[in-house]
């Protein structure tokens, strides 16, 4: 085998390992999405209840319906994924659907910082920022499997409320806006570190499975050789 063939073989092996790793990432994303969807529905109900006397009921119900609809679509996608026999070449399609659902969810949550922002009640403003921050912080564990998905969810969820707070112009609002911005950066850094840890863990699992498969194959081959040798001796 010449050097070109060796390089081609290595490139093919690397590409296969990368695809396998990506497939495992998407599996983990779908597997961990259940609690996030439950939290989204529960927190949306709580936020609607708290703002019921502050914001137009029509606006609140439209927003809540959007949260429910997006969560239901994501739930259907997760169910279909769990029931499907996913092949490598289909992974990117499932990953795209997952990302789209997350981005829509993030946008819908971020819209709370615009349409559900009670101008005359700083206490309710703080509560909205608290809920949005909690949603983003809670997503670190489940969505940092891929940074693309975490960023696609967290930034649309927090940027609108940051802008809205800064636009208020008062010292306390500007301070709150920069605090939420700092929180966002810290969460992104935390997600990046966790992403590195998760990828290392997945790589070790894949290598372990490959080693087990190799050892099993070698054991079976050795047993067959022993059987053939015994047959020849007899």
Q: At what angle do helices 91-115 and 122-138 cross, to 10 degrees?
A: 170
Query: Rounded to an integer, what distance in angstroms lies between the CA atom of residue 177 and that of residue 180?
Result: 5
Query: What pLDDT sits at residue 6?
Result: 38
The position carrying tokens 């911005």 is 181
> Nearest CA to 32 among 140, 106, 193, 134?
140
Model confidence pLDDT, tens digit, residues 48-80? 999 999 999 999 999 999 999 999 999 999 998
Domain ranges of the chain: 3-233
Q: Determine whether 171 is exposed, middle or buried from the number of CB atoms within 10 Å of its CB (0-12, 13-18, 19+).
A: exposed
Model confidence pLDDT, tens digit, residues 14-51? 566 777 788 888 888 998 888 999 999 999 999 999 99
Q: Are the C-beta atoms of residues 72 and 64 closer than 8 Å to each other?
A: no
For residue 135, what are the CA distances in angstroms to 36, 44, 84, 139?
A: 8, 10, 29, 6
DSSP string spanning 179-194?
Answer: HHHHHHHHHHHHHHHH
The model's confidence at residue 217, banded by pLDDT at 50, 70 and 90, is: low
pLDDT of 158 above 80: yes
Q: What is the DSSP letter of 52?
A: T
* Virtual torsion, Cα 164, 166, 171, 175, nearest 10 deg: 100
Instruction: Give the number of other CB atoms < 10 A from CB of residue 60.
Output: 20
Look up the pTM and report it.
0.80
Q: At what angle do helices 171-233 and 147-168 cross, to 10 degrees?
A: 180
Instruction: Give the number of other CB atoms < 10 A from CB of residue 202.
Output: 19
pLDDT of 5 above 60: no
């Amino acid at each position: 085998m010449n050097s070109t063939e060796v390089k081609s073989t290595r490139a093919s092996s690397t590409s296969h390992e990368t695809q396998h790793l990506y497939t495992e990432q998407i599996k983990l994303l779908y597997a961990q999405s259940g609690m996030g969807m439950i939290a989204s529905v529960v927190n949306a109900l709580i936020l609607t209840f708290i703002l019921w006397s502050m914001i137009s009921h029509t606006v609140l119900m439209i927003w809540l319906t959007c949260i429910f609809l997006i969560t239901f679509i994501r739930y259907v996608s997760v169910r279909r994924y769990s029931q499907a026999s996913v092949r490598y070449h289909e992974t990117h399609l499932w990953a795209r659907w997952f990302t789209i659902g997350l981005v829509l969810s993030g946008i819908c949550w971020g819209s709370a910082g615009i349409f559900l922002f009670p101008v005359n009640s700083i206490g309710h403003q703080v509560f909205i920022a608290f809920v949005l921050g909690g949603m983003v912080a809670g997503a670190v564990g489940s969505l940092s499997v891929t940074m693309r998905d975490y960023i696609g969810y967290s930034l649309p969820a927090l940027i609108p409320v940051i802008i809205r707070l800064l636009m208020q112009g008062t010292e306390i609002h500007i301070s709150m806006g920069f605090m939420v911005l700092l929180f966002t950066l810290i969460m992104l850094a935390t997600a990046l570190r966790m992403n590195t840890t998760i990828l290392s863990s997945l790589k070790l699992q894949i290598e372990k499975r490959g080693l087990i498969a190799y050892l099993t194959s070698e054991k079976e081959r050795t047993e067959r050789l022993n059987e053939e040798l015994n047959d020849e001796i007899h």
